[in-house]
Each structure stands twice: as structure tokens, then as C-alpha cells.
Amino acid sequence: MAESAVLTNPLRAGMRGERTPQPCAVVIFGATGDLTKRKLLPALYNLALENPLPAGFSVVAVARRPMTNEQWRQYVKDAINEFSRNRPVNPAVWESFSQGLFYHQTEFHDLAGYERLGQLLHQLDHDRGINGNHLFYLATSPEYYPEIIHRLGQARLAHKEGHGHSLTTGHRGRAQTNHQNNHDSHDGDESTTGGWTRLVIEKPFGHDLESAKELNRKVLRVFAEDQVYRIDHYLGKETVQNILVFRFSNGIFEPIWNRRYIDNVQITVAEQVGVETRAGYYETAGAIRDIVQNHMLQLLMLTAMEPPIGFEANAVRDEKVKVLHAIPTLDLVEVSKNTVRAQYGAGWLNGQKVPGYSEEPGVSPTSTTETYVSMKLEVDNWRWAGVPFYLRTGKRLAKRVTEIDIEFKRPPFMLFKNTNVTELQPNVLSMRIQPDEGISLRFGAKVPGGVMRIRGVNMEFLYGSAFAGEPPEAYERLLLDCMLGDSTLFTRRDETEAAWGIITSILDGWADQPIRHLPIYEAGSWGPKEADVLLERGGRDWRRL
């Protein structure tokens, strides 16, 4: 029913503009948490404001704290007024939006609470016309995921039954309308009773390979894979999505996007902020779990993947996961040789003195948690064999920047050897994700004058110069995709596990070689000198950003 409800509406055919999901209820577990308050509630309100969500759209908050519907509505209003990019709330829109806000108090282990939730959803199905379309969003602390998923299954809220076929197999017509395509992949998550049920899981998805596998097993006992949306908000960023557009909509890059022309790839995710209030989580995660396992490997996959057969969820994810399978796990020697971890010490940043990590509130003074990690990975396939991928991320670095740099090989012949020119610099193609999103190409140009001198210049494209409109927040895009059943920008089971396979090999290597004191880098610097050595061994340098 859910599919036909939209696909058979002739008024939809050919309609341009924004995408509108079917009426549905978003059920948020952990509704009073920070993520919900800062990101999810403002995103849902912005969608209601700017891209009218369908009539009947509802948000059901599930949390342990007692609260009435009215108190919850006030809570939501306050959150929007504090964190939404559209604030204060528009009174008329709020009037309609708030009518769809409901609060359900339960302990996460209490089956009866889930049964009452089921009754509430059933009531909303009828009263608000949402027809069994339910999106469960896990925004709790990760340790509650298994319990909540298990109880959803016990309370028969998961509707796994009726899953007979996989999604987005590529056999569907490609000439469908935009709106139809938006609904291309969700028919598999419809229940036999009508409506669809989906589950969104926030990162971290596990803390190593084994725990990720175990969590996947628990999830898939209750939900089918095509109902599961593992979220990495990085993929909701416009400029991350643009990597695919840049690579696959421009014919000039693909012929040189390989080992014959590319010397190395550098991916940097640098933060200026320290651990802030996240010490409890960060002490158990470190930079490698917090950033590398998800965000950085996503960037690596998008950079290295082969062209998919179509811009469809599984076609894209098939190619991404192949990249991960082509990255060899690291043995102990390679971990020692090809990875660097470090921790920030005190220093100066933006003119202010900042404490070292071990002095931060909530952090053990003897902590060996890494706040910086860099590594060299290989992608062993036909396209990339022999091309090192250097990854670095850290907190309290000199600058906040996320960038992918493709460094090309130098010209094979020094034409200008009888001149003042002693060395030719490599061309570098840089894709900057944030801030100042854009793409630049560095090449050599002759300095005007009688003497032959060559200087590197940048040909720069800034998004801000060509498209000044502000893109939607990543969570707005991703929530809408979930409601529309488009899982292209979400992580599939095998992708998650393959990523953890690589990271776990490094974690194992580190565990095997415990160190009493991590290298310390000064806050406000570009990291430890050991990271420079990692590249110098290959005759390379980190890009200066």
C-alpha cells in the first residue's frame, strides 16, 4: 500500500522540486538527549517549515524521564528556538507541527512500555493517517541499542515479516520520474499489514569488528537489512556527496584517476576543538574509532571506488565496500610502521592557552587515548596498487579543515634543466569538504619575465562563488532520505563490518604493543613529528593546509 499510495498519484508524476515523504511517525529513542535536542528536532522542524512534510506527520518521543505531551512540546519548542537555523518558531507552522508531537515514557527494558508504544502508534495510524509508516530512531547511548531492538521485536513493532526480496537490484526501470525514484528502494520494508517500518542507528556501530558483528546479528534478528539505516552524518554533507558528482559527471578526471598518474592521496580531518564534554565517550573511543572508522573511511571509499552501475543505494554501496575489501588488514609490523598515534598537550590556539588532553575534565591524567592518528593504507586493486593513501585526523590541530588531496606524479622529464628551474612541483587536486568548500587544482605557470621561473598557482573553484545558497543540514537530508526509503547515504552491514575489520587490525596491533606514554603534540600544531616521518619514508610530505 505504501508504495502504491504515492506511485499511483498522478498528480505526482513529473513534479519538480522537493521530495515529499508519505505520512509517517518518527519514533525517537533517547528523545531527551543532546543529539535529539541539537540536531534531530531542529532538522524535523526545518523539514516541516521548508519542505512541507505530509499531513499527519508525527514525532513520538520515547525516553525514561516522565513528561507529558504538553511538556514535551514545550521542550521541542525550546530546542528549536535554541538550535534551529530557522528560529524562532513560526507560530502558525508550529501550531500544526506541535499537534503531531507525542511523548511516551518507558524504561528501555520494559516490554509493557513497548506494547503501550505500539498502542499509541496504532492510534496515530488511525487518527493521523500515517498508515503504519514508522521510523524508529535510536539516539540513545549505544549500550541500549540491543535492548531496544530486542524489545521492538518482542512487541511486534519491527514488522520484519513479508521481506521476500532485496532492494534496488538495478532491474527497475531507470526512466522513472524523480519522485518515483525517490521511492525506488523502499518497497522491501513494507510490512504485510501495510506501511513500512525502518530503523535508524546512530554511530558508533560497535567498538570493534566482533562487537559490530554481534550488533548486526541482533539487529537482523528483528529487522531485515533493507529496514536498517546506519547513519554517518558525514554522508549527508553536500560536499561529500559532491565527490561522486565531481568524479563521475566529469569525463576529464576518470582517465587519470589511477596509479599511472596519481602518486598519493592524503585525507585530512583536522579539528581545532578539544574533547569538550565528550570525555566519557572519547576515553573509550579515541580518534581512530571516533573519526577514522567512519568519516575517514567513507571519504576514502568515495575517492577510490569504481563507478557504480547506477546512482542507486546498493549499486553505490557495492562499489564502496569493494574498496574496503581491497585494503589489506595490517599485521603487527605494519601497524608499528604505518600508523602513528599521539595525544595533544597544552598549547596556544587562536590566541588562547588551551590545556592538554590529560588535563581535560573527565580524562584520566594517565590516559593513553589517542587524540591524533595518522596512517598509511594501501588499496590493492588494479586501479590503486602502489598508491599510498595517507590519513590523518586529530583534535586541537592548527586549523579546522577536512580535505582530500590527490597528488599527481611529477612530469617524467625535466625539460627546464638548463634554466633556473631546479624542481617541478606535482599537480595537486584538492577537494575541500569544510570549511570553504571547493575544489582547487595546483599547476605550474611561468613567472612573467625574461628568466625562466616556474611558480605553482592554484586554479580554485569555491562553492561559495558559484552557489551561494546555504545547503540543508546533513541531518535534514538524511532524515528525509530515511522517510523516503533511500538508503544510498547510509552504511550497509557489510560496509560496517569491513571498515571495522581494518580498524580492528590496527587496534589489535596497538594492543599488542602497549605504550606507556603516547607522543605528545602541542595544541595548535599539525601533530607529532612521527607523522611527518611516516611520509618522509616515502619521500613525501603532508600537504600544508
Active site positions, annotated: 295
Give yes or no for residue 457 binding another protein (CB under 8 A): no
Using CB under 8 A as the binding rule, whether residue 125 contacts another protein is answered as: no
Give the C-alpha separation, 382 to 385, whole Å: 6
Q: Does 99 contact another protein by CB under 8 A?
A: yes
Question: Quick check: 129 binds another protein (CB under 8 A)?
Answer: yes
| Least Å from the CB of residue 226 to another protein | 22
Binder among 351, 469, 514, 539 for another protein (CB under 8 A): 469
Residue 161 interacts with another protein (CB under 8 A)?
no
**DSSP code per residue over 290-358:** IIIIIIIHHHHHHHHPPPPSSSSHHHHHHHHHHHHHTSPPP-HHHHHHHEEEEEEEEEEETTEEE--GG
Q: Beta 101-105 vs 339-349: how paired, if at all? A: unpaired
* HEC profile of 374-386: EEEEECCCCCCCC
Cβ distance to another protein smaller for residue 46 or 367 = 46
- Beta strands per DSSP E along 106-217: 134-138, 197-201
Q: Which three cell numbers stand for residue 506?
A: 590496527
- Site stretch for another protein (CB under 8 A), options 123-131, 289-297, 325-333, 472-480: 123-131
For residue 409, the 8-state DSSP code is P
Strands 25-29 and 438-446, by their bridges, are unpaired
| Phi and psi based region of residue 396 (left: phi greater than 0; alpha: psi -120 to 50; beta: remaining) | left
Choose one: 64-72, 107-115, 382-390, 435-443; the region binding another protein (CB under 8 A). 435-443
Q: Residue with C-alpha cell 506494547? A: 115
440 binds another protein (CB under 8 A): no
Distance in Å, CB of 11 to another protein, minimum: 4
- Residues that bind another protein (rule: CB under 8 A) add up to a total of 49
| Strand ranges, E, within 438-540 | 438-446, 454-462, 520-523
Nearer to another protein, 6 or 454 (CB): 6
CB 199 within 8 A of CB 136: yes
Residue 443 binds to another protein (criterion: CB under 8 A) = no
Give the three-class secondary structure for 111.
Answer: helix
C-beta of 50 vs 508, nearer to another protein: 50
From residue 36 to residue 75, the character string flagging contacts with another protein as x (rule: CB under 8 A) and all else as - is -------------xx-x-xxx-------------------
545 binds another protein, rule: CB under 8 A: no
Should residue 415 be labelled a site residue for another protein when binding is judged by CB under 8 A?
no
Helix (H, G, I), strand (E, B) or coil at 534: helix
Kindly tell me which of 41 and 324 has the beta carbon lying closer to another protein: 41
Q: Is the CB of 353 or the CB of 446 nearer to another protein?
A: 446
Amino acid at 485: G
Interface with another protein, residue 401, by CB under 8 A: no
Contact segment (CB under 8 A) with another protein among 19-27, 59-67, 347-355, 536-544 equals 19-27
Q: Does 8 bind another protein (CB under 8 A)?
A: yes
Residue 288, phi then psi, degrees to nearest 5: -70, -40
CB of 366 to another protein, least distance (A): 41
Binding flag, residue 456, another protein (CB under 8 A): no
Q: Which helix (H) or strand (E) holds 526?
A: none
Biggest distance spanned by C-alpha atoms of the chain:
85
Do you know the residue count of the chain? 545
State the nearest-atom distance from the C-beta of 194 to another protein, in Å.
9
Stretch that binds another protein, among 8-16, 207-215, 305-313, 525-533 (CB under 8 A): 8-16
- Specify the residue for cell string 506511485: 7
Q: Does 281 bind another protein (CB under 8 A)?
A: no
Q: Which residues bind to another protein, rule: CB under 8 A? A: 1, 4-6, 8-18, 20, 22-23, 49-50, 52, 54-56, 90, 92-93, 95-96, 99-100, 128-129, 131, 435-438, 460-470
